[in-house]
């Protein structure tokens, strides 16, 4: 099933989130690690602390395993909506680019995340 997902970020955990997304920790997770990384690479920051993305999940409870193993550690899922198809309806900036730009310089200030 395909879901449109909305989540709030935890700004203080974004550096750690980026690390596990890029060091293989999440990608190597069975059965959904690659899907989680792919989803985060496509996620869009719709405002300074909210993400939206589309993700396929076959759990009876939407994103159950993904939340238990990854998302709930770094994000607060606000909404999952069952949809028929991916649309080009999410506007904003790339979450992945924001993570790359903001979360590895040592001088990073968390309030600058936008």
Summarised one tens digit per residue, pLDDT across range 36-69 is 999 999 999 999 999 999 999 988 899 999 999 9
Q: Which long-range contacts (CB under 8 A, 24 or more apart) does 65-70 make?
A: 65/31, 65/32, 66/32, 66/35, 66/36, 69/29, 69/32, 70/20, 70/26, 70/29, 70/36
Task: Identify the pLDDT of residue 107.
Answer: 47
Q: Where are the domains of the chain?
A: 2-112
Residue 90 confidence (pLDDT) above 50? yes
Residue 106 confidence (pLDDT) above 90? no
The pTM score is 0.86
Residue 3 confidence (pLDDT) above 80? yes
Report the alpha-carbon distance of residue 8 to residue 75 in Å, rounded: 6
In terms of DSSP bridges, do strands 2-9 and 75-83 run parallel, antiparallel, or are they unpaired?
Answer: antiparallel
């Amino acid at each position: 099933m395909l879901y449109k997902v909305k989540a709030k970020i935890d700004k203080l955990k974004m550096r750690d989130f980026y690390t596990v997304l890029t060091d293989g920790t999440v990608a190597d997770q069975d059965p959904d690690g690659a899907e989680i990384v792919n989803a985060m690479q496509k996620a869009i920051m719709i405002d300074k602390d909210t993400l939206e993305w589309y993700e396929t999940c076959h759990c009876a409870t939407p994103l159950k395993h993904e939340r238990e193993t990854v998302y709930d550690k770094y994000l607060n899922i606000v909404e999952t909506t069952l949809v028929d198809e991916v649309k080009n309806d999410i506007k904003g900036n790339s979450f992945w680019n924001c993570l790359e730009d903001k979360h590895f310089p040592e001088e990073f200030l968390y309030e600058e995340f936008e």
